[in-house]
Amino acid sequence: MSENLNEPAADELPRLRDQCGALALELERETDPTRRAVLARELAECRQRVFQAEQADRLHDRDREAGGPAGDVQPAQVMRERIEGGNIEAADPRPDYAGLYAAERAENAELRAELADPEGQGISRERERLHSAVEHAQEQQHAEELSHAGVSRNWRPSTRRESWRVMNRSRVKWCSR
């Protein structure tokens, strides 16, 4: 393993990764402690070379994205012109609420169209079914509350005076229990 420890080229990266994989497999299979120590050291060196190659590749990509060739340092004047020339745009400090509102209006219009569509009546039927189920549950709960109070569910006084008498009687019965 007399590899060059200088910065490896980017095209060597797959070869270095394969080499590290082979060393890792050999290290797993080895049983001799001294040989394992040597392999562990070689694997660490190999991983370091892979790391350096990845870093060099990233720097190369970053330079390419910046517009210059890899390793080419641009003069400070060119950099100042890029910054002062307005090539770098700042974000608009005011958010674009109009776009958000337009998207919301479009979504609402789409929902209205679905509700108005004759094929979309299933939604209305489902809503009616749920509404009646909720009403039924509320009636059941009210009836249960009345039964706990000692009042019949079908009890309906005909006049106000009669209702007070019945209520007073039920209250007396309830309190005397």
Q: What is the pLDDT of residues 51-95, one digit of tens each?
A: 888 888 887 776 666 655 555 555 666 666 666 655 555 555 666
Does 1 score more than 50 pLDDT?
Answer: no
**pLDDT over 70 for what percent of the chain?**
50
Number of domains into which the chain is organized: 2
Q: What is the pLDDT of residue 45?
A: 92
The answer to whether residue 89 is domain-embedded is: no
CB-CB contact of 120 with 114 (8 Å):
yes
Q: Cβ distance 92 to 81 under 8 Å?
A: no
Euclidean distance between CA atoms 164 and 101, whole angstroms: 57
Give the range of the structural domain holding residue 136, as residue numbers without chain letter.
Answer: 123-156
Is there a domain that residue 52 lies in?
A: yes
Task: Give the integer Cα–Cα distance in Å for 60 and 71.
Answer: 7
Residue 39, domain member (yes or no): yes
Query: Between the ranges 82-96, 108-122, 156-170, where is the mean pLDDT highest?
Result: 108-122
Q: Is 61 part of a structural domain of the chain?
A: yes
Is residue 15 a part of any domain in this protein?
yes
pLDDT band at 7 (very low <50, low <70, confident <90, very high): very low
Which pLDDT score, from 0 to 100, does residue 120 have?
A: 55
Has residue 53 been placed in a domain? yes
CA gap 77, 49 in Å, rounded = 36
- Judged against a pLDDT cut of 50, whether residue 165 lies above it is answered with yes
Q: Report CA dihedral (105, 108, 109, 115) to the nearest 10 degrees.
A: -170
Average pLDDT, the chain: 71
Domain contains 18: yes
